[in-house]
Amino acid sequence: MILKAVGKEKTIPHLHEKDSESLCD
């Protein structure tokens, strides 16, 4: 899950915030 978020973050930076919230949750 974390690796997936990292990959998304590099691909879509503006989505990083959303992923961060999910990981935080």
3-state secondary structure labels for all residues of 1-25: CHHHHHHHHHHCHHHHHHHHHHHHC
Domain range annotation of the chain: 1-25
Question: At 12, phi and psi to the nearest 5?
Answer: -130, 90
Q: Indicate the residue type of 14.
A: H
Average pLDDT along the chain: 58
Residue 4 has pLDDT above 50, yes or no: yes
Q: What is the pLDDT of residue 6?
A: 63
Give the mean model confidence (pLDDT) for residues 13-19: 58
Q: Is the pTM of this model over 0.95?
A: no
Residue 19 has pLDDT above 60, yes or no: no
> In a 10 Å sphere around its CB, with 0-12 CB exposed, 13-18 middle and 19+ buried, how is residue 24 labelled?
exposed
Residue 5 has pLDDT above 50, yes or no: yes
pLDDT over 90 percentage in the chain:
0
